A and B are shown apart, each in its own frame.
Chain A
Amino acid sequence: MLEADVEVDRRDFTVRASLTVAPGERLALFGPSGAGKTTLLEVIAGMVAPRRARIALAGRVLTSTGKSATAVPPWQRKVGLLRQDPGLFPHLSIRDNLLYARRGRAGRVGPAGPAGPVAGADGAEGADGAAAGNLAELTELSEILGIAGLLAAMPARLSGGQAHRVALGRLLLAHCDALLLDEPYAGLDASLRRTLTDLVVSLVGQRRVPSILVAHELAETQAFADRLAVLDRGQILQAGSPSEVVLRPASRRVAELVGYTGFVPVPGSGSGSDRGSGPGSGSGSSPGSGPRSGRGSGPGSEETVAGVHPDRVIGGRHPDRGLVLAGVVTGCRPAGALWEVTVRVSGSRATVVARLPEAAPSEQEIALTALDPPCFGPDGTAVGIGETATVPR
C-alpha cells in the first residue's frame, strides 16, 4: 500500500495531491505537461523535498513533515523511479547496468566473471543462490525486453528505445516496493509499447507492488492503469476507472484534458437555438438529475453545454443514442484511417470535431449524433448526460 499526501511548491503553483495505491494496483496520473505529475513522483521517491507531506509505503513512513518529521533518504526507500531520461551508467556494460542494484545490495562491486558475481566468503551458499537467481532473472527479463543480444555492449552504443528498455529492466531487477514510471514509453514504437505495458502489468500483478504511471497520452494510461487520476496545475481533478473518467468527466476542464474538443449549448436549456431535432431521451439509463432539474432555469442555465468527443460522434440523426447536431462542414482532413471533420453547429458559435469514416466536402450540411455526451453547467461542473439533458419538444 502506497499512501501519499503531498503538498509541494512549484514555480507558479502548488501541487496538492492525495493518493492511495493498493498493492498490485496500477494508477495512472494523466495531465498536460507541467501539471506537476513528475514532481509528485519525485517527492514520493525522495528526490524533491515537499512543503508538507505524509508518504507511507508498505507500512513504513517515508516522509512526514510536522511534529515528528521523517525523511527517509532515497536509497533506503525501495521506491523504483523510472525517469524520462534513462540514466544508464556510461562506464558499465548493459549487463552491469541491469545488475547494478543487485550488486550494490550484496556489497560487491566491480566486474563479475562470465558466470555472474563471485560469491563472497561469508554466506557463500546464499550468495551463490542469489547470483544464480540474478542470472536467471536477468536472462529472462532481457529476453522479454529484447535486449538479450546487447548485454556485453556499452550504453553509448544503444538507440534511445534500447536504452529505455535497459532502464526499465534495471528498475525491474532492483525489486522495489513500489514502481513509479515517468513517461516510460516515450520514443518507443507502438508494438514495443504494448509488449512493455503487458510486461509491467503482469509483473506488478505478480509482485503485488503499488505502481504509478505518469503520461500525457491518454491511450497509454488506459492501456496500463486500472485507475486514472487527472492532474491539472497540481490538483487532482478526478480519479476513477479510465472509462469512467473518459465517458463521465467530472468537469469541463477534465473533459478538455481527456479530448473533448467541442462544447455545444444544450437545446432546450434556454439557448433558443433552432438545431434540427432535439435529442430524444432514449436508452433509459438516465441519471437522476438532468441540467434542468439540477441547475434550474436561471440566466446561467443557458450556458449548459454538452461535451463532444471527436471519437464519440457518429454520422446521421440517431436521437435515441445521444445528442443530434446539425451544421455545416468547415474543414476535413485525414486522421489515420478516418477523416477529421470540423463542423460549425447551426444556430450557435460552437464547432465540433468528429472523426468519421468518410470524408465530407466543405460547406456541406451534415447531421451528427454525439453519443451520450456529458453536460456541464455554467460553472463547469458535470450536470448529467446529454440524452437526458433536454425534454423533447
Chain B
Amino acid sequence: MAASPVIVTPPVPGRGGPGGAAVPRGLRYANRSLALAGTGAIWIALLGPVIALLTHLSWHAITTSLSAPGAFDPLVLSAESGAVTLGVLVLLGTPLAWALARGGLPFPRVWEAGVLASLLLPPLVIGLLLVFMIGPYTPIGHLLSGLHLSATDTFLALVIAQVYESAPYYVLGAQAAFSSVDPRLEQQAALLGDPPRRAFRRVTVPLAAPGLAMALAIAWARAMGAFGAVVIIAYHPTGLPLQIWTTLQETGLPSALPYALVLLVVALPLPIAAYIWSARARGRRRG
C-alpha cells in the first residue's frame, strides 16, 4: 500500500485517446486544460497545511521559541526514539512482512487481518489499551519493574507507543514490497546455485529495496508524529508532537508553530531521500 508515491497523474481527457479522434482539436485542448487545472487544485489543497505553515511563520517567532533553554530537547528526544523505533521495526517487522508475503502461512488472511486491525485502531485507543497491557499494575508491568524498567512516562514507553503507531504501516508496506518480487526470480537464483539465504540477499532484498525504503520512510514519519498513544503512556519525557501540544495549551498558537516547522524539518528528509532513492533505483532498472 505504501509503495506507490502520491502523485496524481492527469486523467486522460476526452475518454480514450485513439477513439477520441472525432473530438475537435480545440475541445480536446480545453478538456486537457480543465483536467490539468482540476488535478492542480486537488494537489494544492493537499499541500494547503504546509503552505499555511510556511506563510504564517515569522522569523521573530522562530527565534524566540527556539532560543529558550532546552528548546531542542524535544527534537533530540524525538529523533532518538524515532531511530530506536525504526530499528525495532526493521528487526521485527521485516521477518513478519516476509512471512506474510512468502512464508506460506496457514490462513494468510487471518494474519493479514491482524496487522490491519492494529492499523485500524485509533492511536488514542492504542494508548488506552497499552496502559492495560503494559501499565505498572499489569503482569508485563511487574516483569518490567523487576528489571528496574517502566513503560509509563519513560523513553521506553515513548518507543513502545511509537512502535505501535507505526508498525502496521511498515509491515504492510514491506509486505507489498516483498510480494512485488517475482518468486520465479528467486527460483532462478536457486537454479544458478544460490541457497535461499544468498538468493534473499542477492535477489529479493535488492528488488524489494525501493518498496522497503518507502515503507520505512512512512513508518518514520508516523513515528515522529506519533501523538495519540504517546500522550497517554508517555507524556514525559516530551517529544516534538507533545511539545507542540503543550506549547499550544500554555502559550498559544503562534509559539507552537515553530515546533511544527521543526517537526516537519526532522521528519521529512528521510521520506524524501527514500522517495528519490527508490525512484532512481526504479529508473536504473528501466535502463
Query: Which A residues are closer than 8 A to B by beta carbons?
Result: 45, 47, 73-76, 78-81, 83, 85, 87, 89-91, 100-101, 104-105, 109, 153-157, 170, 174
Contacts of B201 in A (CB 8 A): 109
Could you tell me if A87 and B184 are in contact, using CB atoms closer than 8 angstroms?
A: yes
A153, B199: Cα distance in complex, Å: 22
A170, B184: Cα distance in complex, Å: 16
Could you tell me if B202 and A109 are in contact, using CB atoms closer than 8 angstroms?
A: yes
B206 within 8 A of A: yes
The listed residue (A78, A89, A91, A105) touching B188 by CB distance below 8 A is A89
> Given contacts A89-B207, A90-B207, A104-B189, could you give 12 more A-B pairs where the C-beta distance is less than 8 Å?
A73-B190, A75-B192, A75-B199, A78-B193, A83-B184, A89-B188, A100-B202, A104-B193, A104-B198, A109-B202, A156-B286, A156-B287
Could you tell me if A153 and B191 are in contact, using CB atoms closer than 8 angstroms?
A: no
A104, B193: Cα distance in complex, Å: 7
Q: Chain A residue with minimal CB distance to B198? A: A104
Chain B interface, number of residues (Cβ within 8 angstroms)? 24
Contacts of A104 in B (CB 8 A): 189, 192-194, 198, 202
Could you tell me if A75 and B195 are in contact, using CB atoms closer than 8 angstroms?
A: yes
Could you tell me if B190 and A87 are in contact, using CB atoms closer than 8 angstroms?
A: no
Could you tell me if A154 and B287 are in contact, using CB atoms closer than 8 angstroms?
A: yes
A79, B187: Cα distance in complex, Å: 13
Could you tell me if B287 and A153 are in contact, using CB atoms closer than 8 angstroms?
A: yes
A105, B192: Cα distance in complex, Å: 9
- Give residues 155-198 of B contacting A (CB, 8 Å): 184-185, 187-196, 198
Contacts of B109 in A (CB 8 A): none
Please name the 4 residue pairs, one residue from A and one from B, whose CB atoms are nearest each other, closest first. Answer: A157-B287, A154-B287, A87-B188, A101-B192
B215 within 8 A of A: no
Contacts of A76 in B (CB 8 A): 193
Could you tell me if B285 and A154 are in contact, using CB atoms closer than 8 angstroms?
A: yes
| Interchain nearest-CB distance for B203 vs A (Å) | 6
Sample 20 A-B pairs with CB under 8 A, ordered by A number: A73-B190, A74-B190, A75-B191, A75-B193, A75-B196, A78-B193, A80-B191, A83-B184, A87-B188, A89-B189, A89-B207, A90-B285, A91-B285, A104-B189, A104-B192, A104-B194, A105-B193, A155-B287, A170-B192, A174-B193
Could you tell me if B185 and A87 are in contact, using CB atoms closer than 8 angstroms?
A: yes
| Interchain nearest-CB distance for A239 vs B (Å) | 26
Could you tell me if B195 and A73 are in contact, using CB atoms closer than 8 angstroms?
A: yes
Could you tell me if A91 and B206 are in contact, using CB atoms closer than 8 angstroms?
A: yes
Number of A-B contacts (CB under 8 A): 70
Could you tell me if B286 and A89 are in contact, using CB atoms closer than 8 angstroms?
A: no
B148 within 8 A of A: no
A153, B187: Cα distance in complex, Å: 23
Contacts of B192 in A (CB 8 A): 75, 100-101, 104, 170, 174
Contacts of A101 in B (CB 8 A): 192-193
| Interchain nearest-CB distance for A388 vs B (Å) | 50
B188, B196, B285, most chain A CB atoms within 10 A: B188
| Interchain nearest-CB distance for B270 vs A (Å) | 22
A170, B190: Cα distance in complex, Å: 13
B60 within 8 A of A: no
A338, B256: Cα distance in complex, Å: 88
A73, B198: Cα distance in complex, Å: 14
B15 within 8 A of A: no
A73, B195: Cα distance in complex, Å: 8
Q: Chain A residue with minimal CB distance to B184? A: A87
| Interchain nearest-CB distance for A14 vs B (Å) | 24
| Interchain nearest-CB distance for A175 vs B (Å) | 10
A85, B196: Cα distance in complex, Å: 21
The listed residue (A45, A81, A109, A156) touching B285 by CB distance below 8 A is A156
Could you tell me if A75 and B190 are in contact, using CB atoms closer than 8 angstroms?
A: yes
Contacts of B285 in A (CB 8 A): 90-91, 154, 156
| Interchain nearest-CB distance for B217 vs A (Å) | 20
Contact with A along B63-102 (1 / 0, CB 8 A): 0000000000000000000000000000000000000000
Contacts of A80 in B (CB 8 A): 191
- Give residues 23-61 of B contacting A (CB, 8 Å): none
| Interchain nearest-CB distance for B240 vs A (Å) | 37
Contacts of A81 in B (CB 8 A): 191
Contacts of B203 in A (CB 8 A): 89, 91
Q: Chain B residue with minimal CB distance to A173? A: B192
Q: Chain B residue with minimal CB distance to A158? A: B287
| Interchain nearest-CB distance for A55 vs B (Å) | 15
Contact with A along B196-218 (1 / 0, CB 8 A): 10110111001100000000000
Contacts of A109 in B (CB 8 A): 201-202
| Interchain nearest-CB distance for B74 vs A (Å) | 40
| Interchain nearest-CB distance for A56 vs B (Å) | 19
Could you tell me if B191 and A74 are in contact, using CB atoms closer than 8 angstroms?
A: yes
A87, B207: Cα distance in complex, Å: 13
Could you tell me if A45 and B202 are in contact, using CB atoms closer than 8 angstroms?
A: no
| Interchain nearest-CB distance for B226 vs A (Å) | 34
Contacts of B199 in A (CB 8 A): 75
| Interchain nearest-CB distance for A336 vs B (Å) | 36
Q: Chain A residue with minimal CB distance to B199? A: A75
The listed residue (B187, B196, B206, B207) touching A47 by CB distance below 8 A is B187
Contacts of B202 in A (CB 8 A): 100, 104, 109
A75, B185: Cα distance in complex, Å: 13
Q: Chain A residue with minimal CB distance to B196? A: A75
A80, B190: Cα distance in complex, Å: 10
Contacts of A87 in B (CB 8 A): 184-185, 187-188
| Interchain nearest-CB distance for A99 vs B (Å) | 10
Contacts of B196 in A (CB 8 A): 75
| Interchain nearest-CB distance for A4 vs B (Å) | 17
A238, B7: Cα distance in complex, Å: 60
The listed residue (A79, A85, A100, A154) touching B286 by CB distance below 8 A is A154
Q: Chain B residue with minimal CB distance to A82? A: B191
Contacts of A174 in B (CB 8 A): 192-193
